[in-house]
Chains A and B, each alone.
Chain A
């Protein structure tokens, strides 16, 4: 285990029910989740999870509803206790923390953003943002100062004295994000943080999170249903099914080599314009005009440039060498023909 690993889950399993240990023994002997529920009335949440979460990176956890995503992320700050296994944060097993140490751990080291925001309706935006600081007994004056900086960071200046109910969903989640950032925790847990927002706002928030992450380098664990979101935000993606990890890899590798059918079905509906880059599409030819595309540019970001240009556009490699040209028609084809797009992907070396 290298020292760039922030969180390490070792063989973590969770069964919900009064006799969890025996139920887990049955699972270990090969009983399925459905059988366990029917015969014993216990619910399998997670089984045999081994996962390394890298420092300063964003790890995305994906899976269908009920696959155990929320259960997994709630283990990381012990809102849920595992039935068996170890959870190491900075090399220390957090399951050994007593109640007091656990509170300190939650106050200083790890914070969380919630799907339905979970803001305090009776407190103002600023009071919500500094909630964690006040819980940690930071003097109110200092807390407010730090809070205002966070309010500014998420672009809510001027709203600090409003109540959450007076804000739109997107703004409320900015408050949730500011509240999580305010404690300066190194680890940020985000359970479907953007799922309740409508698409435009959602994209804004994703971009904002990327900006913030580029500056702060938190260790982020992000849960989503949405592969586009996962690919946009995740340095690594972990895919869960029925409480079992099916694949953990970079987005590109998962697109190229889905480990099984389940993962394959996730990948099928991906928005390729955001994933595919111009480089692999470049073909020999002479560009018209001076506009150039970068090989690592996504097709989506190339659209506006294509629209403005006449004829083929040159594609440059990172070192500035001309790789070839692409035409609008080629790009359209790459997007429409799934099979061909896939082969382009597999052929690329990104």
Chain B
């Protein structure tokens, strides 16, 4: 005998209601939402076109210069240059640039949205109490679940891919902004207030600079999560390296999947090295006074 869990309420009926309600939302607001996110799409496409329009060596120099500015280390700059070069060598340049564009735009937007949310959370225990479990759920929910509502709203394409990536990648930057600000020495914050600083002045002169290493660590994690999302996002039309991996699997072409996979790994190393080095350098500057 198999014992069955008793049915307390009709989940299927509930599911039907939920589905149809969401369908109604899609029918009513789908178009409007698409219009709202049109500028985002345009930014994404412009970024992609810019990266592809630039000659490969200009991109290489650009990345290397960025690496130098962030790390002040010749070794890291050389590593970044070499990896960019290798991405071209293995023949995935175009796809890699599409992926970089998606990553940069989604990371920027995640940071842009995540920072103020993190600041709000740090100011109120109640907001933190609500936000933390939500962030926990966001981070444990399988990535695919995010795709469904966004695809329903926008249809397959770059916008749902971008939005799903933002939702997936935003928790670390929120979390670590909140944590970073909360960890700032209370006596220093008190000193700032004692000299008549407004809440905004406390934030800009004390909390933000002292929380910067933590915030940068959050941005780093957000970047990595955005990158890990590209394969999945490609299933709904984001294109890029992920799409190549997907095709490799579908057509059983090991080489295609392998090269695209390598491209993703190289990008991951590039962004990780740059962000880590910058974080370390910031920490050292702050240590001077600890």
Contacts and interface: CB of A to CB of B under 8 A. Distances in A.
Interface string A78-94: 01000000000000000
Interface string A105-124: 11110011011101111110
B20 interface: no
B199 to A, nearest CB: 9
Contact of A165 (B187, B210, B289): B289
Contacts of B253: none
A308 interface: no
Interface of A: 77, 79, 102-108, 111-112, 114-116, 118-123, 131-132, 134-136, 163-166, 179, 183, 189
Contacts of B185: 118
A116 B289 CA distance: 13
B289 A164 contact: yes
Given A114-B187, A122-B209, A135 B286 contact: no
Contact of B191 (A102, A118, A122, A134): A118
A167 B92 CA distance: 53
Contacts of B191: 112, 114, 118-119
A165 B290 contact: yes
B198 A103 contact: yes
Contact of A122 (B193, B194, B196, B286): B286
11 contacts: A106-B193, A106-B196, A108-B196, A111-B195, A115-B187, A118-B188, A121-B289, A121-B290, A122-B286, A132-B196, A163-B288
Interface in B173-197: 185, 187-188, 190-197
Contacts of B195: 106-107, 111-112, 131-132, 135, 179, 183
Contacts of A165: 287-290
B288 A135 contact: no
B285 interface: yes
B73 interface: no
B201 interface: yes
B194 A111 contact: yes
Interface in B184-238: 185, 187-188, 190-198, 201, 205-206, 209-210
A163 B289 contact: yes
Given A79-B194, A121-B290, A122-B285, 9 more contacts: A112-B191, A112-B195, A120-B205, A120-B210, A122-B286, A135-B197, A163-B289, A164-B289, A166-B288
Interface of B: 185, 187-188, 190-198, 201, 205-206, 209-210, 285-290
B282 to A, nearest CB: 9
B201 A135 contact: yes
B188 to A, nearest CB: 5
Contacts of B193: 79, 106
Contacts, number: 79
Contacts of A111: 194-195
A241 to B, nearest CB: 25
Nearest to A176: B191
Nearest to B189: A118
A130 B252 CA distance: 67
A105 B210 contact: no
A104 B196 contact: yes
Given A103-B196, A183-B195, A120 B287 contact: no
Nearest to B195: A132
A205 to B, nearest CB: 18
Contacts of B194: 77, 79, 106, 111-112, 189
B206 A120 contact: yes
A46 B289 CA distance: 35
A81 to B, nearest CB: 13
A179 B191 CA distance: 10
Contacts of A164: 288-289
Contacts of B192: 131, 135
B8 to A, nearest CB: 38
Given A106-B196, A136-B196, A122 B187 contact: no
B289 A107 contact: no
B81 to A, nearest CB: 31
Q: Which 10 A-B pairs have the closest CB atoms?
A: A121-B289, A107-B196, A106-B196, A165-B289, A118-B191, A132-B195, A163-B288, A165-B288, A118-B187, A103-B196
B212 to A, nearest CB: 8
A77 to B, nearest CB: 6
Contacts of B288: 121-122, 163-166
A166 B289 CA distance: 7
A132 B210 CA distance: 18
Given A116-B187, A165-B288, A122 B197 contact: no
Given A120-B188, A121-B289, A165-B289, A105 B196 contact: yes
Contacts of B187: 114-116, 118
Nearest to B185: A118
Contacts of B209: 120, 122
Contacts of A77: 194
A118 B287 contact: no
A123 B206 CA distance: 10
